Structure 1
Amino acid sequence: MKHLIEVTLESKINQEGEITNIKRHGEGYLKIEGETTTVFFKTKDDKYKYVYRDNELEIIKDDAYKIGLNKDKKCDFRFEFDGYSLMGASETNVLDVDEGKVESSYSLFINGSKIGDYQSKLTYNIKKSK
């Protein structure tokens, strides 16, 4: 089942003690297959292409995000931009598909070195079923 959604992504990045807060709006869709829910979305301010790993490497074109959430509420990810490859592991704290809330926190690494901690809060509204 696929639902079109409007999204708001609020991020808090702690990099070497410096905290940055970012709020972005966008749109995408929610895909539900069995016990796995995947949120695909693109925010209006994004200019990089993101590559996420959810069991296997998958390239998401058009500067889009993909967050794969399984019944364990965990997802691994990887994204690349400007020749850099960042990797991390995400522990999803809150997942309420019906109410449209996903909160997660994870650490980012470049070449094995930790560069910062990242917290995100994604909220979405289902526009219509497709």
Structure 2
Amino acid sequence: MAPKTSAHKRGLGYQHRKTRDGLLRVHVDGTPCWWCGEPMFRDPTLNVDYNPMSSDPDTGILAADHSHSRAHGGAKADRLLHGRCNKQRGDGSRDHLRPAITGGRVEDPTAIAPELGVRAMAWPR
């Protein structure tokens, strides 16, 4: 797995954080996510992509998204999405497949189904 590039090197430094902070200031809790249609909250533990078992410090955090993606010349983030939804959206080429339109489920391959609990098993030697 390649090392993660810093947000600053990807062009998401100080100005992007200020833009996100501004979007969070005017955010109304419960507003539906454009990608999945589920409600978004400032409190990360209330968001559908929050995973208390994850080692990711950003689990449940709302992400600033560029409706006109950066890959296609977008310069400024103008809305919030769940972090997982923002990652799934990517460069915007899959916007026609977003769960809010298709009624599909948002799948997160890294999530652990909390209703199943933790499963541990001995690996063969």
TM-score in terms of structure 1 length: 0.22
Structure possessing the higher relative contact order (Cα contacts under 8 Å, 6 or more residues apart): 1
Rg (Cα) greater in structure: 2
Task: Name the structure where strand makes up a greater proportion of residues.
Answer: 1
Q: Which has the higher helix share?
A: 2
